[in-house]
Structure 1
Amino acid sequence: MENILNRYKQKLDFDENKQSFSEIHNNQVTAFYYMADTTVNLDKDLTKVIDSIEVLQKLHKKSELIIKMNIDTDEDTQYISILKEINTSTSYLKQQFLYLKENIIKKDQFNNFLFWKYNLYIMNKIKLNHKKLEQMGLSTLQNQEKLYWRTSICNTQDEVFSLIVSLMSICKLEINFVEEYFPNKWNESSLEISTLKPLHRKYINSENSNRYKHKNVWMSVMDFFAGDTTISHL
């Protein structure tokens, strides 16, 4: 994020030492690029979450195939029961993020707190069932199958699962930012951006420029990325 900000500062000839109307103008445009960049990254990260969940689903199908080929019918029932529960949870998780991706694009409202709280519960449930399945396989499969089970199924599941958790954390941060600055500010901010024009020097120190010196939403965005904990909420 810091590198992106530096790039935009250079592109816009941003000078932090100048307290002028033109600086506010540049701040507004820089913050707009930040907002646009965040929404683009959010869409990409949500897609990565969905793709990773699909990889997890393919691993579950491999697990089921191994079980059917190597486990007796009586023992197979317990395996299939756990796999069914895992598949149900994983499918639900995928649907949740497909829904989220669609609604972020539409800028529709959703309950941010409940969404992450419930999906954390689903993730913990999947993780617990993964461990159960892993231990069952290691205790019942033959030695040759155990090696494949551990390396190609269990270890890979852990890696993909960790990736999903990390991506979800990133998405949550991005969504919090979008939710903070877009819903109530976007119409006003879009209008403000659309009316930005090159500034004449005579306006820089005029009394008319005083109204631009308050911390508007764009300055707040700049503070957000600069680590300012006293961001004003307008």
Structure 2
Amino acid sequence: MRICGYRGLCLPHWMMQNDSCCADKLIKQTSICQLLSLTDMTLEGFPNLKYIRGLLVFGSLKSLNLLRMANLEELWTTTNGSKIHGCCFPVLSELCITGCPKLNVKPYFPPSLITLSFEDSNEQLLSPSSFSHRLPLSADEPSSSCNVHSDSAALRLKKLRLPGSSSSWGYLRHCAELEILHIECCNDMAELLEILQNLTSHPCSSCL
């Protein structure tokens, strides 16, 4: 599905989570069922949209493209904008973010993500906090435990596409399982090679 040029301040109501009794009726409609079965979605050129949150759970979505959204500030990957709720994109494996200079992902990228393409967007997206997520308690820990488990390396990207600016390369140090790296218009090959040489395991098999 591809939606271009939407000018609303909020996403259409049919894409949003709703706890009212009306939601149960809507979810049974063919169009809504098809929406929840989507495997690919592109949102492009939404000039007024600032927040993507409170989404339905897109349980089949594998590829998401966010393109040319100059004012988009937040993409929430959990339902109801909370860390303790479920994931909106439980099987998302490919994410492309282009032309979103203000965008932050909250609370973190989906742990299922394998391919990330990033261009002309907020480089803070590549900070370690964007890749941290809670891990389940181990079997020997009580469910009432207040300990919070997080793993900044839990996101195991295998394919990564970055801009040529060296300011975005620091994240490469955490890419233990990266297999394919694509960097356009590299402005400091010496620094890039140094970072790649310092990868402790699973070095890139391809660098473009």
Shorter-chain TM-score tier: under 0.3
Q: TM-score, normalised by structure 1?
A: 0.22
| Higher RCO (CA < 8 A, seq sep 6+) | 1
Q: TM-score, normalised by structure 2?
A: 0.23
Larger radius of gyration: 1
More strand by share: 2
More helix by share: 1
